[in-house]
Amino acid sequence: MPLLIFVTLLWAFSFSLIGVYLAGSVDSYFAVFTRVLLAALLFLPLLRWRACSPRTALALMAIGAVQLGAMYLFYYQSFLLLSVPEVLLFTIFTPLYITLLYDLLERRFSPWNLVVALVAVAGAAVIRWGRPQGDFWLGFLVVQGANFCFALGQVAYKQFMQHSTQRGPALPGRQVFGWFYLGALLVATGAWLWLGEPVYPQGALQWGILLWLGLVASGLGYFLWNRGATQVSAGTLAAMNNALIPAGLLVNLLIWNRDADLGRLALGGLVIVAAVLLNEWRLRRPQPALAR
């Protein structure tokens, strides 16, 4: 739990740094490539190439390709379509996806999760009631792509590491996590070479932000977050995914976005939060033995 809290505070500034200083002025695919490359370079010196089994290497590369590589491609595009507060609020669906994925692993399904999702979508509509169409809904869907990739990666990493521990002693996480970044780097490199444009950072500020995001927010942050995910229950992991939202909103609204429509943002946010809290209440409520 302490690791997840620490990373939440670490990531609170990332949304605004991307939305204010990089989105629209630096090619998003180049930004993703640079960020993942820096994170990989941070862990490659620690990587135990020959001591790690091919199965572990391939599994971590696949998880990194989804959780970090594919997620970042969706994530950076969303800032071209939505404001920073909207991106933050729409990440609230990640715990729902984590719950759905764990239900899938347990071979069960509850329509209740779909009801929760519909209520949360209504909250999203409140935020932009004047024009809930066009780029807004496209941005909403793009954020959901990022949310799903992030949720899938967390669930996969948690499950894989738990099963690895059951099979016997494993290498320390820092000695194998480089594979995670290499998987993400394959996705980021392919996307940049195929879709990227020659729009690069201008000046020390933008380069400095990319360095911070790559080495600290991505390199250190994702390692500690995934390590923390293996130390808590699935329910706690799902809840901690939403702890970033108030922290990120507070930073953005106090420093960079003081002209936002706080009333509509608050009302729509409350509807979304209410949907998630309702789901949390149901999950924690004692269930009859035959309820499932």
Could you say which DSSP state residue 203 is in? Answer: S
- Contact 19/91 with Cβ under 8 angstroms? no
DSSP code at position 289:
T
208 vs 210: CA distance, rounded Å: 5
pLDDT tens sequence across 33-45: 999 999 999 999 9
pLDDT value at residue 291: 42
Q: Please report the pLDDT score of residue 289 as a whole number.
A: 46
d(CA 282, CA 292) in angstroms, rounded, equals 13
CA distance 176 to 173: 5
The answer to whether 96 and 283 are in contact (CB under 8 A) is no
Structure tokens at 97: 């996806």
| Predicted pLDDT of residue 114 | 58
Give the whole-angstrom CA distance, residue 218 versus residue 229: 16
- At residue 272, the pLDDT reads 63
- Supply the DSSP string of 110-144, one letter for each residue: -THHHHHHHHHHHHHHHHTTT--STHHHHHHHHHH
Q: At CA 42, angle to CA 71 and CA 144, rounded to 5?
A: 10
Q: Tell me, what's the pLDDT at 211?
A: 96
CA 185, 191, 192, 193 torsion: positive or negative? positive
Query: And the tokens for 245?
Result: 């939202």
Residue ranges of the chain whose pLDDT lies below 70:
1, 106, 108-134, 165-172, 233-236, 238-239, 242-243, 245-247, 257-262, 264-265, 268-269, 272-273, 275-280, 282-292
Cα-Cα-Cα-Cα dihedral sign, residues 241, 242, 245, 247: negative
CA dist 107 and 129 (Å) reads: 38
Cα–Cα distance, 30 to 279 (Å, whole number): 38
130: closest CA among 264, 249, 257, 266? Answer: 264
pLDDT at residue 200, as a whole number: 93
Domain edges within the chain: 2-283
pLDDT in tens, 223-277: 999 888 877 766 667 667 766 766 677 777 777 765 556 676 677 667 766 766 6
Provide the pLDDT for residue 292.
40
SS3 letters across 26-38? CCHHHHHHHHHHH
pLDDT for 214: 94
